[in-house]
Amino acid sequence: MSTDTLFPRKRMFSEIIDVPLEKIDLDQENPRLAHLEGPLTEEQIEEYIFDEEDGRRLYNQLKQDGQLLEEVWLLKVGDRYVVKEGNRRVVASRKYLRDVQNGKIKNVDESNFNYLPAKIFREDLSAKDIDMFLGSVHIVGKKDWSPTNKGKHIYKLIKQYNETADSVAEQLGMTVGRVKHAYTAYKLTNQFGKKYGGKYIRMYSYFDEFLSARALIKWTEDDPSRLDWLMEQIHSKKISNHRHIRRLNSIIKAEHDIQKKCIAVLESKEGNIEQAYDTFKIYSDSNSWIILEKTCKVLDSFPIQQMRIAKNDTEKMTLIKNLIGGAKTVQKSILDMGGAATI
């Protein structure tokens, strides 16, 4: 869906001009920086974008082409400009110009890079207008943000501008379900951050996965304290990868006895989700061990009256004989595999 379709009546830019590079500031609110702890200095943002956000590729492209192939989008603030789209291009241009000035790149006229071609946002646009427009470009448009960055932006649109999920979905061309999912995942991420601090934005993927785990969601809804429990397992790194949420979901879907055993393993001092899932696989294979445990419990409290009935019942006595024989067969097989002789 094109941005023209999403914003048919609103012209976003007032002009296209060349702007002095020295008058351009990077955007502190850039969603690509959502996972970093701020506030950041201009130098820190520049360093991150160059090293981590494909800045080097754009720098090399600039060396090859000798010019920017696309305008940056700027918002005029006083006598300066803030980048709303094109932070990586600005960083690559700064690096390129410095390398021309210090002689690392030769035979280039540095005056060609003192200015950048830019589209200037209209001054009568609100912050909400611009953020909604950027969302249409990066969330459903061609210039895709990461899931974390999309979540943060949707959360901002709803929380900061008091928009509803329905209105955001309509304006961005998304389904209401996707908007609610992203909003809730980021809301839970913030909740985690308030509880534990640190680089909590990186936990977005855990809660994104959590919202697709139906059994786990219902389990936490049945007892809200379980959500705090889940966050603690993530914080303590007993659940150390967002894909582990799927394994926990499988455990929660299991029979109560299996679930209880697996959670006990997870909560043990040296326990983690991998060990808990191994336990789940052992006990969920046709539920053999659970059935065996239940059988032992039945035998431990077998009614005297039933024993009296069975003493003259050949069929029931054969059942007991087969039970004993089967147990001995399983025991022998385990011992043949090198199992400990504990019986």
| Helix, strand, coil percentages for the chain (3-state, nearest 5) | 65, 10, 30
CA-nearest of 223, 221, 214, 247 to 233 is 247
How large is the average pLDDT for residues 95-112? 88
pLDDT tens per residue across span 215-265? 999 999 999 999 999 999 999 999 999 999 999 999 999 989 889 999 999
Look at residue 116 and tell me if it is in a domain.
yes
- Asked if residue 97 has pLDDT above 80, the reply is yes
Which is more confidently placed, 321 or 288? Answer: 321
| 151 confidence band (pLDDT: 50, 70, 90) | very high
The whole-number pLDDT of residue 7 equals 47
The whole-number pLDDT of residue 49 equals 85
User: Among 99-108, 146-155, 240-249, which range has the highest average pLDDT?
Assistant: 240-249
On whether both 63 and 97 belong to a single domain, the answer is yes
| 34 confidence band (pLDDT: 50, 70, 90) | low
| Average model confidence (pLDDT) across the chain | 88
How large is the average pLDDT for residues 97-103? 91
Which is more confidently placed, 302 or 242? Answer: 242
On whether both 109 and 193 belong to a single domain, the answer is no
Contacts for 189 with CB less than 8 Å, ≥ 6 apart:
151, 200, 201, 203, 204, 207
The whole-number pLDDT of residue 339 equals 67
Look at residue 10 and tell me if it is in a domain.
yes
- Asked if residue 285 has pLDDT above 70, the reply is no
The whole-number pLDDT of residue 191 equals 96
Contacts for 39 with CB less than 8 Å, ≥ 6 apart:
28
As a whole number of angstroms, the distance between CA 39 and CA 29 comes to 10
pLDDT tens per residue across span 154-193? 999 999 999 999 999 999 989 999 999 999 999 999 999 9
Distant-in-sequence contacts of 3-11, Cβ < 8 A, 24+ apart: 3/133, 3/136, 3/137, 3/141, 5/173, 6/133, 6/136, 6/171, 6/172, 6/173, 7/133, 7/136, 10/125, 10/129, 11/122
Look at residue 313 and tell me if it is in a domain.
yes
Find the CATH number of the domain harbouring 90: 3.90.1530
How large is the average pLDDT for residues 309-318? 87
Q: For residue 326, give the 3-state DSSP assignment.
A: helix
The whole-number pLDDT of residue 286 equals 53
pLDDT tens per residue across span 50-75? 887 677 888 888 888 777 778 999 99
pLDDT tens per residue across span 194-216? 999 888 888 999 999 999 999 99
pTM value is 0.72
On whether both 155 and 113 belong to a single domain, the answer is no
Q: How many domains does the chain have?
A: 3
How large is the average pLDDT for residues 38-47? 85
On whether both 224 and 198 belong to a single domain, the answer is yes
190, 180 Cβ separation under 8 angstroms: no
CA-nearest of 224, 215, 287 to 257 is 287
The whole-number pLDDT of residue 53 equals 62
253, 215 Cβ separation under 8 angstroms: yes
Could you list the residue range(s) of the whole structural domain that residue 58 is in? 3-125
What's the gap between Cα 106 and its chain centre?
44
Look at residue 132 and tell me if it is in a domain.
no
Pairing of strands 72-77, 13-20: unpaired
Beta partners for residue 77, in sequence order: 80
139, 145 Cβ separation under 8 angstroms: yes
Could you give the count of Cα atoms lying within 13 Å of 278 in the half-sphere of its Cβ?
7
On whether both 235 and 318 belong to a single domain, the answer is no
Could you give the count of Cα atoms lying within 13 Å of 70 in the half-sphere of its Cβ?
10
Q: Which H or E run includes 121?
A: strand 115-121
